[in-house]
Structures are given as C-alpha cells and as structure tokens.
Structure 1
Amino acid sequence: MHLFLLLILQLPAAIGQIDPEHCRYALGMEDGRIPNEDLTASSRWYETTGPQYARLNSEDGDGAWCPEGQLEPSDSQYLQIDLRRLTFLTLFGTQGRYARGLGKEFATHYRLNYSRDGQLWKSWKNRLGKEVLDGNKDTYGIFSNDLKPPIIARFVRVIPVTRLSSTVCMRVELYGCPWDDGLLSYSAPEGQLMMAPGNPSVISLNDSTYDGVHEKRKLSGGLGQLTDGVTGRDDFLAIRQYNVWQGYDYLGWRNDTQGTQGYVEMEFVFDRLRNFTSMKVHSNNMYTRGVKIFSSVSCWFKPSLSWEPEPVSFSTILDDRNPSARYVTVPLSRRAARSLRCRFYYADVWMMFSEISFQSDIILPTQQPLMGTSVPGGHRDITMTTTPKSDNTAAPSASSSSDEGNTPILIGCLVTIILLLVIIIFLILWCQCVCKVLEKAPRQILDEEVTVRLSSCSDTIILQTPPVPPRSRHPPAGPTNTDPHYERVFLLDPQYQNPAVLRNKLPELSQSAEASACGGGYAKPDVTQCTPHQSFNNNAPHYAETDIVRLQGVTGSNMYAVPALTVDSLTRKDISAAEFPRHQLIFREKLGEGQFGEVHLCEAEGLPEFLGEGSPLPDRDGHSVLVAVKQLRADATSQARNDFLKEIKIMSRLDDPNIIRLLCVCVSSDPLCMVTEYMENGDLNMFLCQREIESTLTHANNIPSVSLSDLLHMAVQISSGMKYLASLNFVHRDLATRNCLLDRRLTIKIADFGMSRNLYSSDYYRIQGRAVLPIRWMAWESILLGKFTTASDVWAFGVTLWEIFTLCKEQPYSLLSDEQVIENSGEFFRNQGRQIFLYAPPLCPPSLFELMMRCWSRNITDRPTFEGLYQALRPHVNQ
C-alpha cells in the first residue's frame, strides 16, 4: 500500500482594514532587525559610509550613508531597503550625519520610490501629486513625514534631492506594519463624474492615488484608495482629507453608463495561494441620492492557470431606512486562489466603494524538500513532502530501503510539529487568560485579593520608537547622549503587584491611603471608607465609590462622575426639562453610536419659539437650529434606561456658557431622547485639523486658518468650562478636542460625543473589541489604579492644550502603540526619569508648555487646579 504524506501548513488569518493611525511601528533600521544584507545603495563615498550605516540614531562607521561625490540636482542616487515582505508604510523618519559632532551633511529634501516585486518601481506622491518630501535642517534632529497616502511595498528607495551641488548623508527609519492582506493589485473600471442636484461643481469619484496603469478607462496592476485604510463618510460629499475635492474618499460608478450589463467587474491579484474566508467591502448607502450598496456579488477563483467555473455568490439585504455607509462582509467559503474576479451588481443608479479587504489563510507549497526561510518580522515558511515507496515488492530496491529508513525521520518530524502546535495552543490560551485579567485590571487593581499586570504577556517590552523630541522649543546644540531616550520599559516589578505594597510605594498613598483612594473610578466600594471632607487635589473634595454615580448614557461610557446625592431614584415625572414634540426633529446625520443607543444631528423645527424668552440658543442669523439628539434604544436594559434619566437630571443642572446645555427631552414615549446644543463648526478636533496657522501665505491663497490668539482663546474657554465642572465636583473623564464643540464665533462648549463616534474610535483603548478607555489622554493613576478625579481631568486638559497647539495634526503619543502608552504610565509610576512626555509644539509659547508639563506632574498635588489654569491662561488673551 502506498502512503503519501501531504502536509499543508496554514498561517494565521490575515487582518484587513489596517488603521493608518495605529499602524506606525518602527520596522527595524534603528534596532537592527533589518539586516545589513537587505540594505543596498547606488553608490557610497567610503566603506564607512555604506548603506549599512544608514540607521537612525546610529553612530557606527562614519555615522550615515553618503552617496559618492557631490550630489547634483539631476542625480538619482538612492538607498534601497528590502523589507522581505509586503508592508504597509505610514511614516518615514530621517536624520543627517552627526558623527559625534564632526558631521555637517544632511538631506534637505528627498523622494521615495517603491516596488512590490523588485522589478516594477513606482514614485510616491501625496494626495495633491507632490513627490518631494521635506528633509532635515541639521545633522542630528529627526524629521518625520506622514505618508498620505500610505505605501504598500516590499522594496523602498530613498532618493535625496538637492537644488544646488552639495554633499548629502542620511540615516533613516521606516514605520508601518505587515500587509497581511497579501493583495498585490486590483483592476477596475475608472471612477466616474457625478452632477449632483443643487451642487454646481462636478463630483469626481475616481481613484486618485492609484499607482497602476490607467488606460482605456480601466485601472489595472496597482493599488490605491481602496486599500489606504481610510473609509468614506455616510455622506459621500463629505471628505476626511484636507484640501481635496468632494467625493474624494469614494470610487464610484453609474449604472446607466456601464452598458446593459448591470454590474462592475473587479479583479484582485494576491502574492501567493490563499484560502479565502471573506471579503469586506465598505460601501456608501446614501439612497436619497441614488447610491446603494451592491445588491449581489459573484466571485470566481483562479488557483493556478485557469478560472474555476463555479463562482461564490452572495446577495445583500438592502436597507432603505439607514443611510449610513457600512462594511458588507461577503463569505468566500474558504475557496483557494491566487486571483479573484468579482462582479458587483447595482441596486440603484450609483455604487460607491471606499475600502476593500480580504480575510484569508496562506497555503504554503507542499511538494518541495523540507526547508525554512527566515523572514524578518514575519513567519518561517516550512514545507515537507515524502517520497512514495517503490512498487517492486519481489526485489526490494535501494529506494524502498531508503523509504524505510526515512520513516523514523518522518515520525520524528510529525511528533515535533504536534508538540509545537500544543505549545502554541497553550500560549494562545494563556495569553487569552492574561488578557481577560487585563480587561478587569482597572476595576480590580486596588483589591488586595487580586494581582494583575497592565501589560502584554512577555517579561519585557522593547519599544521601537524614534527619540522623543526635546521638551524645549529650541533644539539642543547637539545630542548629549547617542542612546535612544526610551529604549526599554520593564513591566511593573512583582512588589508592585500587591496593592498594599503599591500604596507604600506611592508618596501620596503612603501618607494617606484612605484619602487618596477616594477618587471614584474603578475602585471597589469596600476598599476604603471616605468622607466628603478628605482632599485629594487642593480644595476639591472627593467621594467614596459608594457615593459616586457614573452615568452610562447612550455611548455605553460615562460623561461625568458626580456625587450620588444629586441623582436620587427618579422617574419621568422627575424630569424638569420640557417635552419637545418628537415629530419636529428632522434627521440630518448620524454622529455616532454606542452600546445603548445613538447620537444624531437633527434640525429642530420651532425650537426657539418652544423654549421662549431666555432661550440658551445663540442668534441663528436666519439659519435653522441644529441640535444633537442622544437616543436610547427601545430594547435597552432597565439599568441603562435609569442611567439615561439620571443623566438628563444631571445635564439639566449644568448652566455655563462653555458647557453643552440640555435644551429639551422626548421621554413621553420610547425611544427616550435628550436634545442638546450642537455647534455649526462641529468638534474642535475636526475644525483645527482642517486649518493652518494664520500667515501671509494663508491669506494670499485663501487657506482656512486660525491665529495664535484664537488658539489661546479656545484654551481659556475650555479651562473656564472645566473650572465650572470642578466647582460642582464633577469629573468629566474624557476631556479632549473631540469633545469640544465650536460655533461660528469660536465659542467652545464641552460635550461628550467623542466616544460614540466611529471617527474617533482609534483614540480609545480597545478591550476585546470595545472602545473603552481614552488612555492617551489619561493620567497614569487613572490607567494603573482606575482613579478618576479633578486632578486626572487636569492631566487630560494638558493633553487637550497639546492637541490645540499642534492643530490636531497628530494623535498624542502617535509613535507609541496602546500597550506602549500603558507601559509609559508605569514609568510615571516608578518615577525613574524614563517616562516619555509629549514634545513641545512649535506653535506653543514656552510658558504655556511649562503649564502643560505641570498638568502632567507625577504627583497629583503638584498639578494646578482649573481655577489656577484659568487665571494663568486668561492674561494671554486680548480682552
């Protein structure tokens, strides 16, 4: 009997839908994970300035890669980096040659070329078609460029650019993450133009960043906006990018211009043979404008040279009630292929896609000798086959005896593989167990019977991040230490695992353990007994967990933590806000959704007349009244309904020009609704990121801008609103620019919609898929101890100031992962001088950055109060 052993090893399922804001990990130039043999160059000046010395923060050799001779404006000298696998690149950092103070060379500008196969090279361009990136201004500073759009490639070439004949040298680092989708290219009909009713401009729904061939009205052989990680909005005319045209985020086609076929055909080519689990297509559904998700899709598979005849077909459930854009998941039945051809059938006049991703398993070749190929940052590919026995049983040949001799080897290999699988399964289960403990950690870390680690499963974490920019506005004369500022972060020492020991290690806890634990948050009520007279931050009283109410609201989170005496048990009869006619609320846009309900932007007909004299609404100037409506789901739990009514009662107490106001309610029938103010300019984060600082250039080119005085005025208003909340002993817990609304006169009102909006989901730390904690804005004691107080709101205010003076162009700690942010909070706790602070924004006056640093004081008693912050900021604003 012939025995054929066929072993197919499948790698873990690829994760699609890369988030460019989180895909920002150092890929290994600085720490050596990219080996020297993967670095090549067109030329080098000396052996000691070869490509192997082009590593960020390295002083080896003569301190950098330097191409041979003087670089001329027409030259195309390059440094080439082989990443060994397809990679999603989002950031690129460069340095000049410092050489311990002897170097004088750096590149003021550079270009990037890239390739997915090492043969066909493409030039990177930004969304406006610009190829040249800004480089360095000195020999030691690091300058980073966000790559928008991102690059998907295996090979990258850095090409220094100069306007005059000069000598250049470079050190570099790349940031991104693996492109596990494995998609090499997609082909599709070109996008089309739309003439929208009431819109005088033509809306172009083309793939503007496509890097393949564009001819005969067809795109082929490249990747573009369908793989850039940016999903379009519900309204396809609204854009997420700055200074681009309406409809930019979508690739769209019109039904009646595609002939009579009634579908759009797309082809997808992958790097290797894969088993496909599903395809996810982000599709617009603005049915009021003739746009719907596809009605059905059929996909054919090509595993080798020819297409299989039987497709996988899938029909969608069309929704004419919800205009929200959404991902449609198409099951692909684990069919194997290297190429897919899918036909998407129209459900209306238009069909628009903004992202397409695939979930698949890699199928490794099986008919090759046993071998392994090391891939940096990736997997080790293992394949195995066996040779069949000879049929000649009368006269055994050498081959049959050889087969018999190979049997123990095969058995040994199988046993080894089985043991490895058992170990892997054990590690996965163990990590899942640790992650479950991690989810409960903030609630249990003060319980003396529980010890946990807020960290990953390893003993140490090595952070591959570029050095932290200096905390002063003025760059140093030169680096005083060539070592990275923050190389390694150790987990909490075992002695810190015990909360009893933890209290002794913290000065503020050891001096008054009971008083310092009275900050509400996640602390258990039986840990300490507190009284309202105990003080934790200057004169602001704090309360025991039994005296704190945390309102869940529709987002599944909480807006304010407040003393329980303000929210007794209540019913609808206890609601003092007026009942507004539900039918006079006209839906305009869904702002977000959460665990228990949704937040909508609505137009309220007749609201000023309904509220009467003394209405908190600003002068409308003839415009309709926009309001935010928080709506509880009809099937919400009784606890959620009770919390919702309590939140209404709390909101009705708030009366400050810089706090969002409750206008009216709809609670006479389900679903329960509260109607609050909404500002025409939306949230402060979106407002600022679409603007530049005021200058003659912005005036000349009519670019939306803000002045430094405007930014200071915003800071004063936020501090004023928070001063009011602190006076009522309210703790906001989620202060950030996304939670500050702005009207036409730049008046700011603090709100709580941020957590419910998908747009800001990356700002929250996810535990098992749920966005729960805004850790990049949280004080260290809030992350490690679950302690939320006015002092932790002051910390968040400092981060909010940092956002304002960076014009919200980047996320706080953008080069750190969520886990590394948590580790950094451990460094604040240990207080050994290795904690990372946010850098000083270039627009920020030094005195104001010093105020931010005080907000981030390790000891909470050293942080200013909101009254002090308001008094310190107010003189900076022109009255």
Structure 2
Amino acid sequence: MKHLWKTYFPLLILLYSLGAVRSQVNPGVCRSPLGMAGGQIPDEDISASSQWSDSTAAKYGRLDCEEGDGAWCPEIAVEPDSVKEFLQIDLRSLHFITLVGTQGRHAGGIGNEFAQMYKIKYSRDGSRWISWRNRQGKQVIEGNRNAYDTVLKDLEPPIIARFVRFMPVIDHSMNVCMRVELYGCEWLDGLVSYNAPLGQQMVLHGQHIHLNDSVYDGAVGYSMTEGLGQLTDGMCGLDDFTLSHVYNVWPGYDYVGWTNDSFPNGYVEIMFEFDRTRNFTTMKVHCNNMFSRRVKTFQKVTCYFRSELDWEPVPVSFSPVMDDGNPSARFVTVSLHNHMASAIKCQYYFADIWMMFSEITFQSDTAMYNTTLFPPKTGTPTSPQPGDNPTHKVDDSNTRILIGCLVAIIFILVAIIVIILWRQVWQKMLEKASRRMLDDELTARLSIQSETFTYNNNTTNPSSVPSDQESNSTYERIFPLGPDYQEPSRLIRKLPEFSQTSEEPGDTPSKSPQASSQEGVPHYAEADIVNLQGVTGGNTYAVPALTMDLLSGKDVAVEEFPRKLLTFKEKLGEGQFGEVHLCEAEGMQDFMDEDFSFDLSENQTVLVAVKMLRADANKNARNDFLKEIKIMSRLKDPNIIRLLAVCICTDPLCMITEYMENGDLNQFLSRHEPEGQIALLSNAPTVSYSNLIYMATQIASGMKYLSSLNFVHRDLATRNCLVGKNYTIKIADFGMSRNLYSGDYYRIQGRAVLPIRWMSWESILLGKFTTASDVWAFGVTLWETLTFCKEQPYSQLSDEQVIENTGEFFRDQRRQIYLPQPPMCPDSIYKLMLRCWHRNTKERPSFLEIHRTLLECQP
C-alpha cells in the first residue's frame, strides 16, 4: 500500500484540484489551449471580415490544421495601416487569455503566406471593442517569419474577453493568411468591469511613485469606468511597492494607490459589475502593508449589494486585524455571507495616509440560472441588445439536477480509483520480476514513512504550516495535470532514463547499468543508496552502498574533544533525534589536521556547530549517528563543512563541525543589496556581482567534490551554505532543522517534509535522487544567490502548483514554468540555470562543467 500511495499521490492532488472551487487565476499556470487546434471551438464560432475563397474561410484558421487550403486568408491583399481585415473567435463565455499562437499558410509546402505583424482587439459583450496594448503601450505584436513555424506570444497584460479578433498588420501591400490559437482558462470571477477613482502619485525621497492603473481598458477621466485592469491582471505586487515583477516600468507599477488627503469621507469606493447575478461567498483584496512608508491595509470595508435594480439597504462590514509588525503584502479575505448580487459597491477605509491594492478577486457559487447574459449556443447566436433587461432567477430544478450529477460523478471517480488500485495490485503480482528491477532503479524514491526517508518527519512545527487564509501564495487554485496525465507506473517505463533497465515480461534482457556506464553513459549514484537519518532531521548525504561498505571497515579518524571546552551560545535547530547548537570551542587548533588551517591565535576560541544525539534516541538512531560521523570524517574539501572532533565516550553523543562567522548564505544575502542606486538610498551593505559569482563557484566546487564520491546531497540550497571571511563558502546539511526555514519544506500528510521548490521533477514524481537532481537544485541555488534571496523560488505559486508544474516538466509540452531571469543575471548565467533544469537528466551539465563555466564567467 505504501508503494500505491507513492504512485497515486499526484492523482490524489488532481482529484483535490477538481473538487476545490477557486476563482483566482495565475497567468503562469493558466495557459491551456482553448480549442482552435483541438476543435473544441466549433466552426460557427469562428468568423472573419472576408475570405479569399470557401477553402480559406475562417473555420480553416486553426493552429496546426491543414484542412481546406491550409489557413484563413482575407479576400484581398492587406494594405499598410489597414485594420479592416480580421479573424474573430467567440469563446461563448468570458476567458482569461494569457498567450496567443500564430502560423501562416503552409498547406504541405504549397502555401507561403503569413502575417509578419498583427494586432488584437477584444470584447466582453460583443459591442464595445478594445485594442490590446502591452505594458509599455505598444499594440503591434511580432508575428511569423515563415509559413509553418508556430510563434507563441505572451499577452502582458493578459485580457479578459469573450470575443477576440486577430488583425494582420503589414508595412507593404501583400497577401496574408493566418492560423491561430488562444491559451488561457475560464474567467470564473464573472467580473466584467470595475469603477474606481484614478490612482495617485507619491513622492518618496524625491522619487515619483506612480500608482495609477496603467492597463485599465475602460474610460479614464476623473475616475475609471466600465473596464478591467491591474486589479484583475493576475499579478500581485511585491512587499516593497517601489519595485515590480515587471521590468523596465516605473516605480509603483504593480499597485493602484490613493492617499486619504483626497478623500474627505475617509474611504475609497469601488463598484464591481458582474456578468449575472451570483451567490458571493468571499472577496480577497491583495494589499500593501509597508507601514514604514505610511502604507497599510484598509481599516474597514463596507460592501453594498445590487441583486436586480435596487441596492440592498443593509451592507456587509468587515474590519481586518491591523498588523504593525509584518510589512509583507498580503491577501485580506472578506466574507460576503452568500449575498446574491449582480453588482457590489465597496467602501475601503484608510488606516494610514496611503492605501494600495494590486489584486481583487471574488468567489461565488456556480448556481444555475434560467437566463444568462451569455446563453449557450442554440441556433442563431444571440447577444444582448441595448434596452434588454435580462432577469436572473435561481432554477431549483436545475440546482437539484446539478447536485445529483455531482454526486454521481463522485461515485464514479471513487469506483475508478478502486478499479485502478486493484489493477495495480494484480499487475504487480504478475510482473514481480519486472517490478523488482524497477524498484532497484528507484531505491531512492520518495517515501512518506519517516523511518525510511532521509528527511526528518518532525523537523518543522506543524503549527507553523500556514493555513489557507494565511498563505502568502499569490493564488490558491490548484490546476489539474491535464487530460494527457498517465499513471506514473506507465510513465516510468516510457522515460529515456529507464529504457535501458526496465523490462516487460517476454522482453529480451536489456543492458545492465554497469554496461551502460562502461559505454560512456553517465551512471549517477542512484542505486543501492544507504539512507542515513540525520539526527537533526537534516540531509545526511545519500551514500552508495559500495562506498558505505568501504567506509565501515575503517576507524573514525577524529579525536575525542573535551566537553568542558565547549560553551553554548545558541540553539540553531532540532529534529526528531537530536539538536544542533552553536558553540564556542577552546583549543580547537590542537584537534585539526595538518591540511586544515585556521587563522587563530593560541588561546582564541572558534565558533563550531555541535550536532548532539538526544538521550532518548533509539538504537537505529545511534547507529546512524556513528555512520554519519564515519562519512563526515572522510569529507575533506575546502568548500565542504568539516568534521573537527567528536564526543562519543559518554552520552550524549556529539559531533563538532565547522561553523562560519557570517552564518548561512540565505540570511547573509538577504541582509545585503546589489551595488547600485537602491543600496545608496537605503544605506544597506552591498555585495558585488563578481563576489556573487565567486560564491556560486565555490558551491559548484564543493558539489563537484561530492559528486566525485558519488554522494548525493538532496537538499542543496542557500540555507545549507555557510559564509565565512572574504566570501568563503562551505556546504553544510542542517538547514532543514531550523524553524527559520520551515516554510521551505512541503509536508506530506504531516509526515515527510520535502524541499519541493528546489527538487527536480523526477525527484518529486518518481522519488529519484541523483547527482543530476543535485544539479537541478544547484540551478535554483544559483537563482537564489543572484536574487539576493529576496523571495522564495516560485513565490507566486502555492506548494500544490509547484507540484503540478513538475508534471508540465515531465510532459514537456512547453507549458512548464521556469524561474525568471534575475535582474542582474547575464544571459550566459541564465542559460546555465536553464541547462540545470533540463527535462532529460543526461542533458544537464556535470558539476565539473558547471564549475568550469563559472570560473570563466568571473569578472
């Protein structure tokens, strides 16, 4: 059953995501094709201004399709600056569109017409059309350079629309043809417009902070009316409102903000219009709370509801708890108590001089209605006409039918899961030999049984795991793995990594791993791993069994250290079986090897980390502790934390390792700023780019040494790198034991904890830990370093969405999300990161190659 749980853990996440009702969308994940290529959009919903012939009609303008004459082509050649010709798509409901794709007419080599540029117009009601502009105000999008390649373009900002038009643009008269696709997801909020006062300008230390809604697509006068903009673009602002997720824009770009000097009533009023009457449960407002700049979340909000034509007299009021201790931006959740409404008017009261919002989302039940603004297609398409006054009433019979269908679907899903689980058990009985080979290949797979998992199951305090409402993730919606999701057991057999080792019954025996290694294929330390439970819950290096056998025959080459010479200073962390203390040690120079140098005077104390086994630890923990000492005593590299001495003659057992005076790299960098104007203004200490690369080079050097011994670290991150004098770096392993980093680990059912934001896709999905997965983690560590550890990797994704993203890496359909290029990161270094995150483990660079590349990149 344990194996089945590991196999179907991603499937359970999928089922959870299907059952959870979420209304927010994440632009980085909401990127599914909407049905042009797949045929979900019917022909009658695709129209055009004109067509060259019946065989180049609008219905042939589907991406990757070669039907008809291979594309949509307008009747005449398009003239420069002409906006008359267009290809139009009706999505039948509002959608959040983040990406568009275009092709020309190829038709098996017969055609050679394509649009080199194009514009996009969109509409939510079919009558008011809006020209899309990027965040810098440009309308023209670069198109194709030949007739067959697909060109994908992100829409920044994304659009919320039902109707979309592609309008070819050229610089000289020519024939053009287009095939297109839209990517995104359904817009479940139902919000069609918001009306708000114009954002204002702040002057901070002589710098102008523009807090206007720069992508608003409605009318802008003294206020903003009949449009949507930055409050619905899926981008939440950073903690520091003077910075932005988007580069090359002005300070304050992510937020819409107002000062109380301009509002004598003490509040800002925003009205929200929806596509139909809805049953509202909550509203979430993402607010800045940088109180040191006199910015706070709202003190109180009062919301009025309009269900038909009149506003309800009794509003809903909510007062959040003011937070003067944490300056982080956050979502404030407001309960709307299931009010039925087609419009909501909210008054947000100031708590300080400034109030800033970056995102407002609504959650509402998807009730059935007998009349909707966008009815399903039946015969001739209809659209609302001026003067129409659609009424909305809850259809109880439809609601009962919906509930019955949902119950039936749940029973069917449960039955399918039972059948799949039974089939798995039956197949494993029939394919025992094949499964044994697969299990040998995946000895290091994930396990939620803490006694067989390297990571400690009591590392972090369960109470420290954030709740749903306290989550700092930008979005909480979990996206399913998609229709092409397959059972992991089948996927494993298709992977190139397993093609040489896994066998089906009746197959000719394949080459052994040893044979593959002899032929030059890298053989990572992935088989017969000895898992040592670090006493602090940290990651004691995963060691090949052969290496462990060699070590076990040797005596520990470390001397006993007098306990009385240790002075306790600080508790660094703890785990299930032990603790880590920061201590001062006297006379340590007498216990160091000849090849180990410390710049110390004779009587000077030195900082050390002391791993101590608890008195109540069981026999297995004691044996693992002694094995850990044996392994650590053999690690001698300038960039690996060294074991200095032990205290094992009496209980409690202790091992004494190096500790660097500047602490771990994560905290060190977060206290510093890159050299530049911001550092001068804030008077913060700086670290130069050359020193960042120097530190990264040392990390690569230490990992090169570990990989040469076939040791797999499994938890490489800045929190596990210590900083000494002159930017010296040494790799450690007890970052997991510190409560400070509990948020970096994902807890499975309260048991095992995993650093999923640093883990490769094969480690998360298959439990496969190798030197190649350490290379992946190094790429993330390098990204942390060049961002000065200012944010967690994939900070815009929830833990569940990070796991879902690994599924995209596995399928490799260009929908996976990569960490963005840091501002001060050159292209050559970012390309190295991307190579570390390559889907195929054999395509990732070795640590020897990484170290050589970084040496060449040092200024």
On whether the aligned pair clears a TM of 0.5, the verdict is yes
Q: In structure 2, do the counterparts of structure 1 residues 855 and 653 end up closer, same or farther at CA, with 3 Å as the change threshold?
A: farther
| SS in structure 2 at match of 1:443 | coil
Match of 2:221 in 1: 215
Indicate yes or no: 2:262 matched with 1:254.
no
Aligned partner (choices 132, 140, 144) of residue 140 of structure 2 = 132
Aligned partner (choices 120, 127, 130) of residue 112 of structure 1 = 120
Distance 1:110 1:762 in 2: 43
Distance 1:434 1:234 in 2: 48
Distance 2:522 2:147 in 1: 44
Distance 1:285 1:854 in 2: 35
| SS in structure 1 at match of 2:202 | strand
Match of 2:283 in 1: 279
Q: Structure 1: which amino acid aligns with 2:327?
A: P
Indicate yes or no: 2:338 matched with 1:334.
yes
Q: Structure 2: which amino acid aligns with 1:208?
A: S
Match of 1:237 in 2: 242
| SS in structure 1 at match of 2:848 | helix
Aligned partner (choices 335, 350, 354) of residue 354 of structure 2 = 350
Match of 1:675 in 2: 663
Q: Retained in 2: the 8 A contact 1:794–1:864? A: yes
Shift of residue 85, structure 1, vs aligned partner: 1.0
Q: Structure 2: which amino acid aligns with 1:233?
A: L
Shift of residue 89, structure 1, vs aligned partner: 0.9
Q: Retained in 2: the 8 A contact 1:91–1:176? A: yes
Q: In structure 2, do the counterparts of structure 1 residues 776 and 850 end up closer, same or farther at CA, with 3 Å as the change threshold?
A: closer
Q: Structure 2: which amino acid aligns with 1:173?
A: E
Aligned partner (choices 207, 222, 245) of residue 201 of structure 1 = 207
Match of 1:39 in 2: 46
Distance 2:172 2:53 in 1: 22
Distance 1:739 1:74 in 2: 58
Q: Retained in 2: the 8 A contact 1:232–1:239? A: yes
Match of 2:193 in 1: 185
Shift of residue 340, structure 1, vs aligned partner: 0.4
Structure 2 matches for 1:535-546, cutoff 5 A?
Answer: 538=523, 544=529, 546=531
Shift of residue 105, structure 1, vs aligned partner: 1.4
Match of 2:55 in 1: 48
Distance 1:869 1:29 in 2: 42
| SS in structure 1 at match of 2:447 | helix
Q: CA offsets, 1:831-850, max 9 Å, x none?
A: xxx999999x99999xx999
Shift of residue 741, structure 1, vs aligned partner: 12
Match of 1:60 in 2: 67
| SS in structure 2 at match of 1:675 | coil
Distance 1:283 1:786 in 2: 39
Shift of residue 820, structure 1, vs aligned partner: 7.7
Indicate yes or no: 2:315 matched with 1:311.
yes
Distance 2:117 2:296 in 1: 44
Shift of residue 185, structure 1, vs aligned partner: 0.8
Q: Retained in 1: the 8 A contact 2:92–2:376? A: no
Distance 2:329 2:732 in 1: 25
Distance 2:370 2:815 in 1: 48
Indicate yes or no: 2:229 matched with 1:224.
yes
| SS in structure 2 at match of 1:344 | strand
Q: In structure 2, do the counterparts of structure 1 residues 83 and 537 end up closer, same or farther at CA, with 3 Å as the change threshold?
A: same
Shift of residue 188, structure 1, vs aligned partner: 1.1
Shift of residue 827, structure 1, vs aligned partner: 7.4
Q: Retained in 1: the 8 A contact 2:809–2:816? A: no
Q: CA offsets, 1:283-311, max 9 Å, x none?
A: 11111221111111111110000100000
Q: Structure 2: which amino acid aligns with 1:171?
A: R
Match of 2:184 in 1: 176
Match of 1:148 in 2: 156
Question: How many residues matched?
Answer: 670
Aligned partner (choices 410, 419, 437) of residue 425 of structure 1 = 410
Q: In structure 2, do the counterparts of structure 1 residues 341 and 825 end up closer, same or farther at CA, with 3 Å as the change threshold?
A: closer
| SS in structure 2 at match of 1:168 | coil
Q: In structure 2, do the counterparts of structure 1 residues 435 and 548 end up closer, same or farther at CA, with 3 Å as the change threshold?
A: farther
Q: Retained in 1: the 8 A contact 2:158–2:233? A: yes
Q: Structure 2: which amino acid aligns with 1:549?
A: G
Q: Structure 2: which amino acid aligns with 1:677?
A: L
| SS in structure 1 at match of 2:314 | coil
Aligned partner (choices 761, 765, 768) of residue 787 of structure 1 = 768
Q: CA offsets, 1:364-414, max 9 Å, x none?
A: 33589xx97689xxxxxx99979xxxxxxxxxxxxxxxxxxxxxxx9xx99
Q: Structure 2: which amino acid aligns with 1:215?
A: G
Shift of residue 248, structure 1, vs aligned partner: 1.3
Structure 2 unaligned residues grouped into runs of 5+: 1-17, 380-391, 425-443, 453-477, 516-520, 577-596, 601-616, 644-660, 675-687
Q: CA offsets, 1:423-471, max 9 Å, x none?
A: 1332466689999999x994279999xxxxxxx999x9645xxxxxxxx
Q: Structure 2: which amino acid aligns with 1:358?
A: F
Distance 1:414 1:328 in 2: 31
Q: In structure 2, do the counterparts of structure 1 residues 314 and 191 end up closer, same or farther at CA, with 3 Å as the change threshold?
A: same
Shift of residue 724, structure 1, vs aligned partner: 3.8
Q: Retained in 1: the 8 A contact 2:701–2:847? A: yes
CA RMSD of aligned residues (A): 6.4
Q: In structure 2, do the counterparts of structure 1 residues 654 and 53 end up closer, same or farther at CA, with 3 Å as the change threshold?
A: farther
Identity %: 44
Q: Retained in 2: the 8 A contact 1:795–1:856? A: no
Structure 2 matches for 1:715-794, cutoff 5 A?
Answer: 719-726=700-707, 731-733=712-714, 774=756, 778=760, 780=762, 782-794=763-775
Distance 2:288 2:166 in 1: 37
Aligned partner (choices 119, 122, 125) of residue 130 of structure 2 = 122
Distance 1:422 1:778 in 2: 37
Q: In structure 2, do the counterparts of structure 1 residues 675 and 729 end up closer, same or farther at CA, with 3 Å as the change threshold?
A: farther
| SS in structure 2 at match of 1:505 | coil
| SS in structure 1 at match of 2:664 | strand
Q: In structure 2, do the counterparts of structure 1 residues 710 and 75 end up closer, same or farther at CA, with 3 Å as the change threshold?
A: farther
| SS in structure 2 at match of 1:88 | strand
Q: Structure 1: which amino acid aligns with 2:240?
A: D
The alignment's TM-score, normalised by the length of structure 2, stands at 0.62
Q: CA offsets, 1:91-111, max 9 Å, x none?
A: 111111111112221111111
Distance 1:539 1:494 in 2: 20
Q: Structure 1: which amino acid aligns with 2:66?
A: E
Distance 1:575 1:651 in 2: 22
Q: Retained in 2: the 8 A contact 1:135–1:143? A: yes
Q: In structure 2, do the counterparts of structure 1 residues 765 and 512 end up closer, same or farther at CA, with 3 Å as the change threshold?
A: farther
Q: In structure 2, do the counterparts of structure 1 residues 165 and 345 end up closer, same or farther at CA, with 3 Å as the change threshold?
A: same
Distance 1:434 1:711 in 2: 54
Distance 2:307 2:191 in 1: 15
Distance 2:376 2:815 in 1: 40
Structure 1 unaligned residues grouped into runs of 5+: 1-10, 376-381, 387-409, 449-455, 464-487, 517-535, 583-594, 597-612, 617-637, 663-672, 688-705, 829-833
Q: Retained in 1: the 8 A contact 2:532–2:542? A: no
Match of 2:30 in 1: 23
Q: Retained in 2: the 8 A contact 1:184–1:222? A: yes
Shift of residue 358, structure 1, vs aligned partner: 0.7
The alignment's TM-score, normalised by the length of structure 1, stands at 0.61
Q: Retained in 2: the 8 A contact 1:764–1:773? A: yes
Q: In structure 2, do the counterparts of structure 1 residues 581 and 653 end up closer, same or farther at CA, with 3 Å as the change threshold?
A: farther
Q: In structure 2, do the counterparts of structure 1 residues 765 and 856 end up closer, same or farther at CA, with 3 Å as the change threshold?
A: farther
Q: Retained in 1: the 8 A contact 2:638–2:730? A: yes
Q: In structure 2, do the counterparts of structure 1 residues 825 and 253 end up closer, same or farther at CA, with 3 Å as the change threshold?
A: closer
Q: In structure 2, do the counterparts of structure 1 residues 40 and 251 end up closer, same or farther at CA, with 3 Å as the change threshold?
A: same
Match of 2:534 in 1: 549
Structure 2 matches for 1:853-864, cutoff 5 A?
Answer: none
Match of 1:74 in 2: 81
Q: Retained in 1: the 8 A contact 2:123–2:161? A: yes
Q: Structure 2: which amino acid aligns with 1:250?
A: Y
Shift of residue 162, structure 1, vs aligned partner: 0.8
